[in-house]
Amino acid sequence: MAGTIDDRLKQIGIELPTPPAPVASYVPYVRTGNLVFISGQVTLGPNGLEYVGVVGDTIDMDDARKAARLCAVNVIAQLKAALGGRLDRVRQCVKVTGFVNAIPGFGNHPEVVNGASDLFVEVFGEAGRHARAAVGAGSLPRGVAVEVEAIFEVE
């Protein structure tokens, strides 16, 4: 049965994708006790990888924030799979780490990762507020601009 989180996703126009299978030797999520660890999610959209490039070079700030938001959509899709389709079991988004593929000297990593953080709050309300790290990277898998991983407390 769909819950209030599914209703909120629908209201803001987000249809969660079917989570992709991992492309390397890892699992998409691990649940231990009441925590779910979501592996890093990249900018995989309906037509393949989006936002491929380097922030501050081929990717501007607006698109970088959109890239982080797309990563967050993919995090939520993996979380839904981990919870058997029941996103209303989320009690708290605990920690988010965002990686930004940026030019040397780039310093606006937090503003980029806000694209993911803001979506978690928009979807989960106060339970979407989290601790966070926003980290610069010299490159990311498949050349994407952003990657996001997260930890959630669940029922």
d(CA 119, CA 129): 10
Burial of 121 (0-12, 13-18, 19+ CB in 10 A): middle
> Phi, psi (5° rounding) for residue 107?
-130, 10
Within a 13 Å sphere around the CA of 121, how many CA atoms are in the beta-carbon half? 11
Letter for the amino acid at 80?
K
Q: pLDDT for 120-134, tens place per residue?
A: 999 999 999 999 999
Total domain count, the chain? 1
**CA geometry: angle at 135 spanning 125 and 66, to 5°?**
55
What pLDDT score was predicted for residue 2? 59
> Phi, psi (5° rounding) for residue 70?
-60, -40
What's the CATH code of the domain at 11? 3.30.1330.40
Letter for the amino acid at 116?
A
Q: pLDDT for 95-151, tens place per residue?
A: 999 999 999 999 999 999 999 999 999 999 999 999 999 999 999 999 999 999 999
> In 10 A of CB 87, how many CB atoms?
23
- Nearest one of 93, 77, 84, 75 to 149, comparing CA atoms: 75
d(CA 140, CA 146): 7
Q: pLDDT for 5-55, tens place per residue?
A: 999 999 999 999 999 888 899 999 999 999 999 999 999 999 999 999 999
Query: Domain range spanning residue 97?
Result: 4-19+28-154
